[in-house]
Structure 1
Amino acid sequence: MRWPLIAAKTRDETNDALCAITRAMLRDVRGRPSDELLRRAIRGRAFVVPGPEPRQIPADVRLALRWVAGASRPLADLMDPAVMRFLLTALRPNLDGAVAAAETQRHKHKVLVNAVRYAVEQRKLPADPLAPIKWSVAETVDQVDPQVVANPSQARSLLRAVSYAGGYGRARGRRLVGLFAGTYYAGLRPAEAVGVSLPNCALPAEGWGQVTVHRTLPQAGKRWTDTGRAHDERGLKSRPADDTRPVPLPARTGSAVAREHQQLRHSRTTASSDPVPTTAPGTRPVNSAFLRVWSARCSQPARTTCATRLCLPG
């Protein structure tokens, strides 16, 4: 019902929450598919809008969905507090069994609340079964460990190493120096850094520069975007749709970005209108691309500096 109005990333998260809710509502009956097949069937086919044509669904997935339809508990079972509490408990862990982040738990709970309210609205349930249940998020540690945050000297070394990833001539790593520099020195969210092009930057030869951030490009996946592209173009987080945010750039950041981009232009591997962080002319980098570049040149201790946003491709 809300699908056309929500962001692609939210669609992905809502699909994941509905998948967890559905699996928790399954009874233990004969013929249960493997957990991997169940997740692939529910996540990839059951809660995708628009839904796939039946003839496009692989046979094993089609059979798994048929089993899910027969093994699902009746909606009326939610009126049993024991069933509802079991369902709420099932929203806490990740797939690996570890407790999910507090925000993930809240989002899954919100999806469940919306689904239950819609069922009440459609008179599929006589009352709200969540009303008598007391539930709270299982808190987790969600803070940056200062011991794994790169200091300025380490950051400079990491950026130099990134520029050589994949070979200096091929420039696979050099194209991403701007992204990593922007996230470290300017504090840009990765989705903001991906959306920055050179015309958005004021990069003087000396002194501080500035980047005007006007959009975010979070990677949600082609399945969830209206355009069929991997990135979903959005406004700035928690701001009006057309708002912009000027961000000062330290001199070291500006000179590094300008130098790399000019060298790439002279080598005919990019253009002035290309995004600052890119993996090929005219393209936007996907998560796997800059994670490969980062991993290629970073030791394991340094790799934990993801906590500083360097490797969080939101």
Structure 2
Amino acid sequence: MTEWTYDVKIWAIRKRDSTRKPYQVRWGTGTRPHSESFKTSGLAESRRAQLITATRAGEPFDVESGLPKSLLAKERDISWYEHARNYIAMKWDHSPASTRRTLAEAMATVTAAMVKDTKGMADPRVVRTALYSWAFNKNRWTKEPPDEVVKVLTWFELKSVPTSALADRMQVRTALDALTKKLDGTTAAASVIRRKRAIFHNALGYAVDAELLTENPLPRVQWKAPEQVEEEVDPACVPEPAQAAKLLAAVRDQSPRGRHLMSFFGCMYYAAARPAEVIGLRLHDCDLPRRGWGKLRLRETRPRSGSAWTDSGEAHDKRGLKHRPRKAVREVPIPPELVALLRWHVTAYGTAPDGRLFRTQRGGLIQDTGYGEVWAEARTRALTPAQHASALAKRPYDLRHAAVSTWLSSGVEPQLVAKRAGHSVAVLFRVYAKFLSDGDEAANAKISALLEGRS
């Protein structure tokens, strides 16, 4: 921890004979003496002038090194490229695989813009691969990258601006502008821009902690992300109950793999479970009575992040529920329709050795490519040509949207819907705003009845 002091004394330059550097600058911070020697009186005077200027400007001095804050920052300064790698190293061990990928994506985007000039820069796609997959993937730091990647990373080591340059607000604006663009030059989604900006802000804060910057410049920059339509679920994507039933039947009827996955998709439709939550679902987390409603206890997610990003080397990471403490459990009541599906599934297929309900033929975790193919075929079978050409149920995730919209349309309180779906009420109101507005007529009727004195 740096110890600062304003108690600084600077003495006259002393000349010593019989030495290679005869001109000595002497000063003290508190009770700590310091000195530097120079070959010429001009160099010594220049150094002494720097120290005097810092004291007159009211700068604190580091007791240990004897340098004022401004000079100490210059001595400690490193390139933005090096700082970004230090930031990744700091975050890595405590981040799940999906977050590691997000961190690497943000740092790759910013670092590509934080260069002194672009002369000799490789193709943007090659740059992205080198930065994203190698420079900011700590799992690969001990591996030998391809020659093309080495060339790109060497270029960035030479061309990257010093971290101290981020004290310039215009340099910060350059980074922020880069965050708004995709590789093809089009504007990125609002959620992506917000996420990358938050990571950039955190990386700048880490630079302050490392005493590379005196303050985080981002809050002082007058910058606004490109305006975009608020992220809402488009009702055109969400299947109605009858359409959902036809899609699930089409999943069941198309192949043995489809029959095995019917209950998988059923958990997304009837329980609003995320695909990564269903992948890790175990039998002991299911209450499946012979009659009536049952319950799922969702306690972990198994997102597919890629083997390059996980500690285990497996494609799927293992983590707690999204935006929840690691040991949090979300209990979701399930209707008799899903209870019957899951009871049939257990009878027909049993479970994996670890109790998982859904698995590949080899016993592994369900892959998004596999269930994606089954869903694509189900859409072809269940939907009309016009519906198939539209966005209706384009992704399996739309089944989760269908569940939430069904609950809202049924009159379930938004707070309870949010609790069962596993997100905040604020997200519910923002993302499902159009479904909430569909209830305006019913709400107006209730208010009119009260105002008119009707029961």
TM-score relative to the length of structure 1: 0.86
Partner of 1:228: 313
Q: What is the percentage of aligned positions where both structures have the same residue?
A: 34
**Any stretches of 5+ residues in structure 1 without a counterpart?**
none
Instruction: Return the offset for 1:155.
Output: 0.9
Partner AA of 2:241 in structure 1: P
Residue from 368, 373, 379 that aligns with 1:298: 379
1:23–1:246 Cα change, 3 Å: same
Instruction: Return the offset for 1:278.
Output: 2.4
Q: How does 1:129-278 map to 2 (within 5 A)?
A: 129-138=217-226, 139-165=228-254, 168=255, 171-265=256-350, 271=352, 273-278=354-359
Partner AA of 1:118 in structure 2: Y
Residue from 94, 98, 103 that aligns with 1:9: 98
Question: Partners of 1:218 and 1:45 in 2: how far apart?
Answer: 22
Partner AA of 1:228 in structure 2: G
2:181 pairs with 1:93: yes
Taking only aligned residues, the RMSD between alpha carbons, in angstroms, comes to 2.5
| Kept in 1: contact 2:139–2:308 (CA 8 A) | no
| Kept in 1: contact 2:173–2:221 (CA 8 A) | yes
Instruction: Return the offset for 1:188.
Output: 1.1
1:84–1:243 Cα change, 3 Å: closer
Larger relative CO (CA 8 A, sep 6+): 1 or 2? 1
Partner AA of 1:78 in structure 2: L
Residue from 197, 204, 207 that aligns with 1:119: 207
**CA deviation string 1:52-87 (max 9, x = no partner):** 335x21111111211222332333332332221121
Question: Partners of 2:214 and 2:289 in 1: how far apart?
Answer: 66
2:125 pairs with 1:36: yes
Give SS of 1:88's match.
helix
Instruction: Return the offset for 1:281.
Output: 4.4
Question: Partners of 1:76 and 1:271 in 2: how far apart?
Answer: 54
**CA deviation string 1:237-282 (max 9, x = no partner):** 34333232221111111212322342234xxxx6575522323242
Question: Partners of 2:250 and 2:296 in 1: how far apart?
Answer: 24
Partner of 2:192: 104
**CA deviation string 1:136-191 (max 9, x = no partner):** 444433111222211111111111212244xx2xx222222222111111111222
Consecutive aligned runs of 4 or more in structure 1 exceeding 6 Å deviation: none
Question: Partners of 2:305 and 2:318 in 1: how far apart?
Answer: 10
1:111–1:205 Cα change, 3 Å: same
Instruction: Return the offset for 1:50.
Output: 3.8
**Any stretches of 5+ residues in structure 2 without a counterpart?**
1-89, 381-387, 403-455
Partner of 2:400: 309
Partner AA of 1:160 in structure 2: A
| Kept in 1: contact 2:306–2:315 (CA 8 A) | yes
Partner AA of 1:33 in structure 2: A
Partner of 2:367: 286
Instruction: Return the offset for 1:304.
Output: 2.6
Question: Partners of 1:209 and 1:256 in 2: how far apart?
Answer: 11
Question: Partners of 2:115 and 2:295 in 1: how far apart?
Answer: 54
Task: Select between 231-240 and 187-196 the one with higher mean Cα deviation.
Answer: 231-240
**CA deviation string 1:14-67 (max 9, x = no partner):** 11100111112235544322222111111110011244335x211111112112
TM-score relative to the length of structure 2: 0.61
| Kept in 2: contact 1:180–1:310 (CA 8 A) | no
